[in-house]
Amino acid sequence: MVACALPFFYLEDLQNVVPMLAAIAVGTVAGVVGARRVQMTQMPQMVALFNGVGGGAASLVALLELDEIGAGAPTFNLVATAFTIAVGAISFAGSAITFAKLQDLMTSRPVTFPGFPVAFGGSLIAVVVLSVLVVRDPTVGLGIAIGLVGLLVGVLLVLPVGGADVPIVISLLNAFTGLTVAAGGYVLSNTLLLVAGTLVGASGTFLTLLMASAMGRSVANILFGALKGGSTLGGGEASDRPVRSATPEDAAIMLAYADRVIIVPGYGLAVAQAQHALRELVDLLNERGGLVDYAIHPVAGRMPGHMNVLLAEAQVPYEELKEMDEINGEFKDADVVLVVGANDVVNPAAKTSPGAPIYGMPILNADQAKSVIFMKRSMRPGFAGIENELLFDERTQLLFGDAKDSMNKLLSAVKAL
């Protein structure tokens, strides 16, 4: 908003005022309507779209600026312009593919094909070569070529990513957009864009590295692990192995008489919009003298901080949200762990199965609790596409059904005790 308003105060010879105001009005209306209508479960898709639009806009602005600066411009300005066009296009295309994966417009599994490394490496080299040529001969034609090849790089960058890796890619593309805006700020001599873009780029990069570390993998493995079978795959078939089922009344008795309860929220909680009922249940358990906390895994949900935002919407006190490193040592003392719509973040395969796609990813130690109540819609696996042995543990009872419906029944059962 500040960037949109500043030109009206600082440019003496302002032109095209009417088109500028019209563009601001259209963008404002689209943004407000979209933000108000989007559901919490669709927030990751919205973030991906907004991120992609930012990168695409910076790329187009730099392309137009290329026609203005000409061959006499300083070399660093031309380098910044080429960088903005290329990385902005990569961010736009990559965000579009991320959106399609999250929106189920395409498979969430990694997409590869024979010769994929050659295609990706060749397109990346082509972007670098074209960028060098633009610095030597700044023509719009070469700028367009950079943008088109950059779009291809963005598509190929995200196609091999699947399943639980998507939130990390969103963060990475956010960093790309920030760096693009910062470079665009240098091209336009706009300090505000330079500062804002640098902040977004730095924070996005830091967040990406933290999330990758939380999964016990490198960023390179997350992006290209599928080429050697090491990426989270998504999909998977429902298991027909026997499990122990529980009724809401059974689960209510376990929770009502437990001294220590830990809640593990996941994407299923967001899908069902059950956070308000969950918060009411936790408040009731606290009133009965129990100690209840929420265990937050860094990559639970579909975007960075998804569970924090979801629970904040239900006005859950921040001090009840415990990060993985803080609470993992407390699971062994928990009487009951209530898993609501999570799967991969409590899957012991991350510790016990070297061949599993999530092997090495730090998980919440729900398997160490005295008993587990697992709320699931079905026996389908999580985004990693593998079975969760915790479901078949003798200490685990499954409460099947929509999370909101099951949570309301569980809440009513606790109140009736």
Please tell me the distance from the alpha carbon of residue 323 to that of residue 298, in angstroms, as a whole number: 8
Longest dimension (CA), the chain: 81
Distance, in Å, from the CA atom of 215 to the CA atom of 213, rounded to the nearest integer, reads 5
Look at the chain and count its residues. 417
Contacts of 23 (CB under 8 A, 6+ apart): none
Tokens of 305: 């901080």
- CA separation (Å) from 118 to 75, 121, 126? 31, 5, 12
Task: Identify whether 344 is a catalytic site residue.
Answer: yes
Name the active-site residue from 335, 344, 367, 405: 344
Q: Which three-class secondary structure state does DSSP give residue 268?
A: helix
Location of structure tokens 């898993």: 339
Is the CB of residue 20 less than 8 Å from the CB of residue 11? no
Q: Please give the full DSSP string across 134-152, using - where no structure is assigned.
A: HHHS--HHHHHHHHHHHHH
CA dist list (Å): 388 to 222, 397, 411: 21, 13, 26
Which DSSP state fits 238?
Answer: P
- In the three-class reduction of DSSP (H, G, I as helix; E, B as strand; rest coil), residue 384 is classed as coil
Contacts of 328 (CB under 8 A, 6+ apart): 295, 364, 365
Buried b (16+ CB within 10 A) or exposed e, 265-295: bbbbbbbbbbbbbbbbbbebbeeeebebbbb
Instruction: Fill in the amino acid letter for 339.
Output: V
Catalytic sites, residue numbers: 344
